[in-house]
Amino acid sequence: MKTQKLILPVAALLVLVILGVTVARSTVEDWRKYQEQYAELSMAKGGAAGALQPIEVKQDRLLGFGDDRIDRCRSCHVAVDDPRFVDGKEPLKTHPSIAPHTFNLLGCTVCHEGDGRATTADLAHGKDKFWVEPLLTGQFIEASCARCHPAPYPAEAKHLRRGRELFEHNPCVGCHLVQGLSRGTLGIELTDVGLKRDVEFFRKKLTKPLFDVASTVMPRLKLSEQDKDDLATFLKSLKGRVLAEDPMSYRARLKAFDNAQPPEVEVAVEIGKKEVESRGCVMCHRLGDKDGERAPDLSFLGQIREPAYVEAHLAEPRQHAPDSIMPAFWMSPSERKAVAAYLTSLQGFVKPATPAEQYKLMCIRCHGEKGDGNGPVAESLLPRPRVFTNARFFNWLPDQRAYNAIRNGVPGTAMPAFGRILGDEDAKAMFAWIRATFAPQKEPIPPRTVPDRNPVAYGPDSVQRGRRIFQERCYGCHGRIGNGKGPNAPEMLPRPRNLTNHNFFTPLPDTRLFESITYGVVGTGMPPWDVFPDDQRWDLVNYVRSLSSSGPAASERRK
Amino acid sequence: MSIHQVVAPANQDDSSLRALPQRVYRALFRSPAIPRTELDRSQSVSANFFFHIHSAKVQERTLKFRTTMGLGLLSLFTFAILVVTGVLLMFYYVPAPEQAYQRMLDLRGAVVFGGFLRALHRWSAHAMVALVLLHLCRVFLTGAHKAPREFNWVIGVFLLLITLFLSFTGYLLPWDQLAYWAITVGTSIASYAPVVGQQIRFMLLGDDAVGREALLRFYVLHVAVLPGLLTTLVGVHFWRIRKDGGLARPRLPPPEVFVPGTKPVAQSPDAPAHDRFPLKPGKTYGLMCLVPARSPNTETEQEKTVQSWPAALSRELLLFLLLLAALCLVAIYFHAPLEEPANPLHPPNPAKAPWYFLGLQEMVSYSAFWGGIGIPGLLVLLALVAPFLERKKGGEGVWMDHSRAAANWTFLILMGVLGFLTLIGSVFRGENWALMVPW
Amino acid sequence: MTTTTHHPGAIESPERRHFFGWLTGGALAVYAASTAALSFLFLRPRVTYGPPTRVPIGKPEAFASGNQVVFPEAKLVVRRQDSRFAAISTVCTHLGCIVNPSDTGFDCPCHGSTYDDRGQVTGGPAPRGLAWYRIVQLPNGELVVDKHDVVEADTFLELRA
């Protein structure tokens, strides 16, 4: 019992000590310290007014002003509207003039964000990783101007204005949807992205879109640091409906925007040029001396594409290449005609003499300097540019196919027809050079026997049989809906073929499909499927026809 | 006038003014403040409303740490701390989605001791679940659930379920992402119960999804219904302990009955009650000679009792103080978490239930019905009938007695498996509930 | 029999005593049961304050063919293919998290369930596919998704002209 007699008073004293620690930690608060300092300094600077204020948690209450806010920032930042503290040390420092705004009316977090209800520096400044509105500093504070001052923003908000300009006059508006501002559907909706993400996220995303996701269609853009800062400022200001607009005007504005029609213009080359310049096509394409390095070279487009093609492409790029990431811009038919007229007027390309030089000027951008399919533009294209160093592929590829590809292009992909620049002999010479440089033919190809026509008639039964086989054996790479995005696809290069690619499959005969299924495509992940009997393979061919609405299935094509 | 005179038994007919303090004291308290005699000590306990749940005397073995490790008492004290801190928090908290999170922020930033009290409340809650579980283990492993204490064990199982439910309902109240999605997952598991599952979920949530109705309902359950239920059952639980004769203790050889003039005869424990007459020092019924020697008592173990006041009560006070100190220290140095405000459109990845349900969630990731309802239901059922399954006598009050090896090892293995699953769920599961290594 | 003293108004016969005992007990039991049932009915919500289960999604013209439109608050996606409309739930059938549309269908961030384009389960612990809802067209042309009317997968609303 003796130990017990001792331990009880010790425990009681321990509890008392802990109580003391609790009290100490809870009552020694930074804001008291700062308010006391302020009182002292205020007295020293002459003026007893500051010293008469009680030491307490100071609140600015914003009620009836959008969402209710209570800001306690001035418990530490006591001196923000005391002009004597211009040279003070934070937090006792005068705030730069924000007239006619006043702290009593606005508080602090309306502009600076952060956690207004907190009373410690770390939490108030939003350093808690769970606080969704970290403190804005420097130019990013301008993002908050948009809360009350709708576009066009005040002149003082320079970075915000520039950010918006960058957004509006670049392809951002083509991919992203911002209610009342843009109509894109390829990318994520950004109408209220400022509520969901912070400035740091925007900068990282603009630098490297893949930093937080496994796959994205957003290209890595060439932006200067200032560009990224300004865009981040603008994006942070996107909060859906802000205080500046009441619900009715907001709805009216959005409705007007949705119902608007793109303006009709004169179909002239100069107009087309202006359009191109104001839409920032060079963010991705190459034109003149500007190059975004993410999309094909348009400098000599008139020599490789027809105006009708360009017009159609501007209306909906995916009708030509289903996996294109080019946005469909909001343009009127006449605008498209004007742009097509301008771009197809560009025919200044002079073909150099040797295949090596021709390759450098026409092919490197996609196929890469080393012929490895890794040109600067390659990561934006799907299907990716052919890899010339893929020896196994080029070993079996018949030369005629390559000539056709060079002269006529490969429909359904980004490979254009170079036939007007390279004649028959040039194409042969080019391919010979490619073979010699990157893909010498090494091994003899075993002979292939391919029937000369499809014995199985196209019809619902054959398609059904083909579907069953496909969903068991093929979907892993080609995907459940045959678009080449099956579970295995991300690990394969080249990617599995998109079997719904109407333009690609239309010119191909059934026998070519049969050949690919039977012998596989050597040099790619497509293995030979001769394990199936012939008629099953023809059923698969018919199923692919129905997937791509090509050949006998062309009449089923829905636009 | 010294303190002893004030509290000394007064002459109640003395109507002089001098006697007034004594009379006031005697009106309030029926026993002296500092009892000196055994009788007074017994009175302090049995005549006091708050203390008289104790018996006047307790077994000495009750006071030893290794007998029970004080787990039951610690659970009770944690509950008391939770009630006090909870009531204090209730003065600042509003159970409405628009206000709950803001109120939590205010507690953290603007209320003196706000963060501390909230942390104390939260860590005490976790501690209570852990202590109740440990108490359950201790009771089972010492066979203290066997006859005649089966019903007390059943009450204990219900107390455990209520404790878990209390913790679950409280979890939602901060209305942050952690709270919202943990409860979404938890109530979805409940909906897998056959027949009544969807109904139960609808009643609990007051809606098809977690929203303002759910918050209000959980709040009412958490501050009124469940604490009331728990307090009542705890009362019954303690009452039962008293009526069952205190803590379970090992059976001893049957007592000898001494009839003067005959030889002592060992008596079977099955003899009718009025024939079983163990000799006890204080309960001598025959006329004995007075000799300067010790009484012939054979059950020295059983007779080792001490007065509750001060031995048991001071022990309890010590336990309480140590518990309070430990919890306060944890509350000072570890802040209660507050994540982003609840966003019904954006589940975090992964969304995890509180730790005591993580074993369940791990099982649920294989099969929602078996993991969430089937196996836990079977386990609870097993727990409820466990004391009735062990019909053989023996092994009570002894840690890991050999005679109960099968039961003990089954129990330990089951607990081990549950602990293992909890570990996997908490540490080795990451995004999309995929297995991962945390280092 | 022992003598019984007579008290005015006292019930003498044991059968009558039993009867009244049973009557009282029965009445009280019924009362208790009814109180429990009425409390249950009181607590069972009759109106809910959450998002509505019949979700208006706009006029058919607002949807482009071949596209999928996400309705986050209503937790569903609406698809249009020419004149056919479909509405698919985005609530994971495992434990209720919201699934994200992906290249190949839908992915759930909570426990890794994956679904294909038609909402059928392709992986993870989800027990069944995503629910398809019935879409109806009101007389004024608006489309409404009825979340209480779950239909089989591949059930479309066909609009004529």
Determine the Cα–Cα distance for residues A162 and A309; give it in Å rounded to an integer.
34
| Chosen from A472, A485, A498 to mutate, greatest number of chain C CBs within 10 A | A485
For residue B315, list chain A residues with Cβ-Cβ distance below 8 A.
Answer: 4
For residues B30 and B154, state if they share a domain: no
Both B141 and B241 in one domain: the answer is yes
B57 confidence band (pLDDT: 50, 70, 90): confident
Q: Which residue has the tokens 């612990």?
A: C125
CA A419 to chain centre: 34
Q: Is the pLDDT of residue C3 over 60?
A: no
Contact assignment for A18 to B317 by CB distance below 8 Å: no
Residue B238, pLDDT > 90, answer yes
Tell me the shortest Cα–Cα distance from A468 to chain B, in angstroms: 29
What pLDDT score was predicted for residue B205?
92
Q: Which CATH architecture has domain A460-556?
A: Orthogonal Bundle (1.10)
- Mean pLDDT (whole number) for C37-57: 84
- Interface subset of C 88-107, CB within 8 angstroms of A: 103-105
Query: Are residues B217 and B112 part of one domain?
Result: yes
Closest among A401, A397, A175, A422 to A294, alpha carbons compared: A175
Residue B82 in domain: yes
Mean pLDDT (chain B, rounded): 85
**Mean pLDDT of the B19-37 span:** 85
Nearest CA in chain B to A73: B109
When CB atoms are compared, the residue of A11, A130, A132 closest to B322 is: A11
**Which three-class secondary structure state does DSSP give residue B419?**
helix
Nearest C-alpha in A relative to C64? A185
Nearest to B329 among A4, A18, A130 (CB): A18
Task: Return all residues near A11 (Cβ < 8 A) that are at least 6 apart.
Answer: B318, B321, B322, B325
What CATH number labels C54-158?
Answer: 2.102.10.10
The residues near B168 (Cβ < 8 Å, ≥ 6 apart) are: B183, B186, B354, B357
Instruction: Please judge whether A19 and B110 are an interchain contact, meaning their C-beta atoms are less than 8 angstroms apart.
Output: no
- Average pLDDT on B406-410 reads 92
In angstroms, the separation between the Cα of residue B346 and the nearest Cα of chain C is 7
Q: Does domain A355-437 have CATH number 1.10.760?
A: yes
Q: What pLDDT, on a 0 to 100 scale, did the predictor assign at position A297?
A: 93
pLDDT tens for chain A, 559 residues long, are: 566 678 888 999 999 999 999 888 888 888 999 999 998 888 888 866 656 778 888 888 887 666 778 899 999 999 888 888 888 888 999 999 888 888 888 889 999 999 998 999 999 998 888 888 899 999 999 999 998 898 889 999 999 999 999 999 999 999 999 999 999 888 888 999 998 889 999 999 999 998 887 778 888 999 999 999 999 999 999 998 888 888 999 999 999 999 999 999 999 999 999 999 999 999 999 998 999 999 999 999 999 999 999 999 999 998 899 888 899 889 999 999 999 999 999 998 899 999 999 999 999 999 999 999 999 999 889 899 999 998 888 888 888 999 999 999 999 999 999 999 999 999 999 999 999 998 887 788 888 888 888 898 999 999 999 999 998 999 889 988 888 888 788 788 888 999 999 999 999 999 999 999 999 998 899 999 989 999 999 999 999 999 998 888 888 765 4
- Nearest-CA distance from A202 to chain B in Å? 19
Q: Is C108 on the interface with B (CB under 8 A)?
A: yes
Taking the CA of residue A277 and the nearest CA in chain C, the distance in Å comes to 29
Domain assignment of residue B379, yes or no: yes
As a 3-state breakdown, chain B gives helix, strand, coil percent values, each rounded to 5, of 60, 5, 35
More confident residue, B31 or A296: A296
Chain C, 4 to 63: residues with Cβ < 8 Å from chain A are none
Q: How far apart are CA A183 and CA A391, in angstroms?
A: 44
Residues of chain A with Cβ-Cβ distance to C117 below 8 Å are 480-481
* CATH homologous superfamily, domain A154-259: Cytochrome c-like domain (1.10.760.10)
Q: Which of A479, A558, A559 sits opposite C104 (nearest CB)?
A: A479
Looking at residue B89, its pLDDT comes to 96
The total number of structural domains that make up chain B: 2
Confidence of residue B289 (pLDDT cuts 50, 70, 90): low
Q: How far is B190 from chain C (nearest CA, A)?
A: 10
Domain ranges of chain A: 27-124, 154-259, 269-344, 355-437, 460-556
Whether B313 and B169 map to the same domain: the answer is: yes
Rounded to 5 degrees, φ, ψ at A338 are -60, -45
Please, what is the average pLDDT of chain C? 83
Nearest to B208 among C50, C72, C124 (CB): C50
Q: Which of C50, C94, C95 sits opposite B209 (nearest CB)?
A: C50
The Cα of C100 is separated from the nearest Cα of chain A by a number of Å equal to 12
Question: Does C123 touch chain B if contact means CB atoms closer than 8 Å?
Answer: no
- Using a CB-CB cut-off of 8 Å, the residues of chain B touching A22 are 113, 116, 328, 332
Contacts of C67 in chain A (CB under 8 A): 185
Residues B116 and B35 in one domain: no
pLDDT at C8 over 80: no
Tell me how far apart the alpha carbons of residues A415 and A397 are, in angstroms, rounded to a whole number: 17
pLDDT of B299 reads: 47
Q: CB within 8 A of A260, min separation 6: which ones?
A: none
The nearest alpha carbon in chain B to A59 belongs to B110
* B6 band by pLDDT with thresholds 50, 70 and 90: very low
Query: Mean of the pLDDT values across residues C86-106?
Result: 84
Pair (B15, B137) in one structural domain? no
Q: Which domain holds residue B365?
A: 61-246+308-433
Based on the domain organization, do B135 and B35 belong to the same domain?
Answer: no
Contacts of C124 in chain B (CB under 8 A): 432
SS3 B312: helix
The verdict on residue B268 lying in a domain is no
Which 8-state DSSP code applies to residue B300?
T
Task: Say whether pLDDT at C145 is over 70.
Answer: yes
The stretch B258-274 carries a mean pLDDT of 60
Query: What's the rounded Cα separation, in Å, for the pair C42 and C24?
Result: 26
- In this prediction, residue B280 carries a pLDDT of 54
Lowest mean pLDDT segment, chosen from A47-61, A346-360, B381-395, C117-131:
A47-61
Say if the Cβ atoms of B181 and C97 lie within 8 Å: yes
Nearest residue in B to A67, CA atom: B98
Distance (Å, whole) CA A402 – CA B355: 63
Whether residue B148 sits in one domain with residue B51: no
Reply yes or no on whether the pLDDT at B303 is more than 70: no
Per-residue pLDDT, A210: 87
**Which band of pLDDT confidence, cut at 50, 70 and 90, is reported for residue C54?**
confident
Model-level pTM? 0.79
Q: C103–A215: do the CB atoms touch at under 8 Å? A: yes
CATH number of A269-344: 1.10.760.10
Q: Is B318 close to A115, i.e. CB distance below 8 A?
A: no
CB A448 within 8 A of CB A516: no
- B242: domain CATH number is 1.20.810.10
B255 belongs to a structural domain: no
Poorest-pLDDT segment among A381-390, B155-164, C64-73: C64-73
Numbered residues of chain B with Cβ closer than 8 Å to any chain A Cβ: 102, 105-106, 108-110, 112-113, 115-116, 176-177, 311, 314-315, 317-318, 321-322, 324-325, 328-329, 332, 337-341
Confidence (pLDDT) at C34:
93
Please tell me which of the candidates B116, B315, B321 has its beta carbon nearest to residue A15. B321
DSSP line for A479-525:
-TTSSS--TTGGG-SSPPP-TT-HHHHTTS-HHHHHHHHHH--TTSS
Is residue A323 within 8 A of residue A498, CB to CB? The reply is yes
CB contact under 8 A, C116 and A486: no
**Are B30 and B162 in a shared domain?**
no
Q: Evaluate if residue B282 carries a pLDDT over 70.
A: no
d(CA A68, CA A243): 12
- Cβ contacts below 8 Å, chain A against chain C, sum to 19
pLDDT at B298: 47
- B32 and B125 share a domain? no
Enumerate residues 6+ apart whose C-beta is below 8 A from A141.
A111, A112
Secondary structure (3-state) at B306: strand
Residues of A with Cβ-Cβ distance to B108 under 8 angstroms: 117-118, 123
Kindly state whether C50 is in contact with chain B, defined as any CB-CB distance less than 8 angstroms. yes
How does residue C4 score in pLDDT terms, banded at 50, 70 and 90?
low
Question: Same structural domain for residues B67 and B181?
Answer: yes
- Tell which of C41, C111, C128 to mutate to test the B interface (max B CBs under 10 Å): C111
Chain C hits for A480, CB-CB cut-off 8 Å, are 104-105, 116-117, 122
Are B121 and B193 within one domain? Answer: yes
